Amino acid sequence: MSDIKKVVLAYSGGLDTSVIVRWLQDTYNCEVVTFTADIGQGEEVEPAREKAKALGVKEIYIEDLREEYVRDYVFPMFRANTIYEGEYLLGTSIARPLIARRLIEIANETGADAISHGATGKGNDQVRFELGAYALKPGVKVIAPWREWDLNSREKLMAYCDERNIPVEKKKGKSPYSMDANLLHISYEGINLEDPWAEAEEDMWRWSVSPEAAPDQPTYIEVTYEKGDIVAIDGQAMKPHEVLEHLNKVGGDNGIGRIDIVENRYVGMKSRGCYETPGGTIMLRAHRAIESITLDREVAHLKDSIMPRYAEVIYNGYWWSPEREALQALIDKTQEYVNGTVRLKLYKGNVDVVGRKSEDSLFDEKIATFEEDEGAYNQKDAEGFIKLNALRLRIAAGKGRKL
């Protein structure tokens, strides 16, 4: 007899999680609570309610978390100009802490004994969900069916559905790729992408046109920042999730945001994936541009030096960790004067910064000018500066040391 009486499942309504509902009921003889989060995946989430009801689920949570997702997770991450291994904008990684937090909160609300997810035993998501869960509720029981059952193929999953009358749509034309989407990005893995030499097929992409098919005329936009976060586009105030929705649309229309990478998963293997992140690509360029005129040099360089570590913390699933909290406190402190507007030109897959202005700008035209500076900068001061910085080099050279 299992001591698990109730489980909260992260539920999408798709094949895997529909099978998991019945498998949990059969294997643990337990009640299942489903939780479906709308974080901008671009598909209706409400149908998950009827699917869950058909599986005998009594407690069903369906929540619109789009604004919270961008405001409390995506925006804080972009304040650091975060990018993993030089290319990946962490679209999947940053969604997991929010889902993990709500799973634990719902478990507490409903008196559940455990939580469950549909992440496989090969990927990063199992780590992210579970590290978050344990950080927020140390004694929680986590059930990961992919690490327990033998239903390790789509054929076996479909056969399980047929045997137990599980209602699953068999959509014609459904993408063969393993996909994950939210407001920040959409990812593609599997099929021909498992060969790193094979080019991604054009009809795979969902959010963007190819750069070749993008308009022949550039699109200009102006992005306004307050304390490191975008608050308006082209002078129109927007909520955080509205910002990302707008930038995804205009970026996708201009062929922006596609990448094809091989990344190092935390579990040890290399994985090839393709990602579309049009809004995030624009946000990264714009944020660096506004920081370029508002941040002190050493603060900017300090941020750049810790960014890879911060990116790794998020990628590996340690959002709910003391090191992330400490890094975030430093990052957020640097954003106090990151205010102003950036003008961007979007053209055939490119994002060009063509203007930036701020009341908090540290760019001093009188000092930087190549024309007469009226004594704002004494060029003779540079001689002593250079000699002092060269002192150790001169001493070593005088001793005959070779570089």
The string of pLDDT tens digits covering residues 118-142 is: 999 999 999 999 999 999 999 999 9
358 is catalytic: no
Q: Mind spelling out the 3-state secondary structure of the chain?
A: CCCCCEEEEECCCCHHHHHHHHHHHHHHCCEEEEEEEECCCCCCCCHHHHHHHHCCCCEEEEEECHHHHHHHHHHHHHCCCCCECCCECCCCHHHHHHHHHHHHHHHHHHCCCEEECCCCCCCCHHHHHHHHHHHHCCCCEEECHHHCCCCCCHHHHHHHHHHCCCCCCCCCCCCCCEEEECCCCEEEECHHHHCCCCCCCHHHCCCCCCHHHCCCCCEEEEEEEECCEEEEECCEECCHHHHHHHHHHHHHHCCCCEEEEEEECCCCCEEEEEEECHHHHHHHHHHHHHHHHHCCHHHHHHHHHHHHHHHHHHHCCCCCCHHHHHHHHHHHHHCCCCCEEEEEEEECCEEEEEEEECCCCCCCHHHHCCCCCCCCCCCCHHHHHHHHHHHHHHHHHHCCCCC
Which pLDDT score, from 0 to 100, does residue 136 have? 98
Class of domain 6-163: alpha beta
Which pLDDT score, from 0 to 100, does residue 220 have? 98
Which pLDDT score, from 0 to 100, does residue 173 have? 53
Q: Enumerate the domain spans of the chain.
A: 6-163, 178-295+337-357, 374-398
Which pLDDT score, from 0 to 100, does residue 175 have? 63
The reply to whether 56 sits in an annotated binding site is: no
Active-site choice (16, 38, 113, 229) = 16
Q: Topology of domain 178-295+337-357, per CATH?
A: Argininosuccinate synthetase, chain A, domain 2 (3.90.1260)
Instruction: Work out the mean pLDDT of the chain and round it to a whole number.
Output: 95
The reply to whether 292 sits in an annotated binding site is: no
Q: Same CATH fold, 178-295+337-357 and 6-163?
A: no
Active-site choice (22, 79, 96, 356) = 96
Q: What pLDDT digit, counting tens, does each position of 224-279 carry?
A: 999 999 999 999 999 999 999 999 999 999 999 999 999 999 999 999 999 999 99
364 is catalytic: no
125 is catalytic: yes
The reply to whether 14 sits in an annotated binding site is: yes
Active-site choice (49, 72, 178, 265) = 178
The reply to whether 214 sits in an annotated binding site is: no
Which pLDDT score, from 0 to 100, does residue 372 have? 87
pLDDT above 70 for 74: yes
The reply to whether 318 sits in an annotated binding site is: no
pLDDT band at 172 (very low <50, low <70, confident <90, very high): low
The rounded percent of the chain whose pLDDT value lies above 90 is: 87
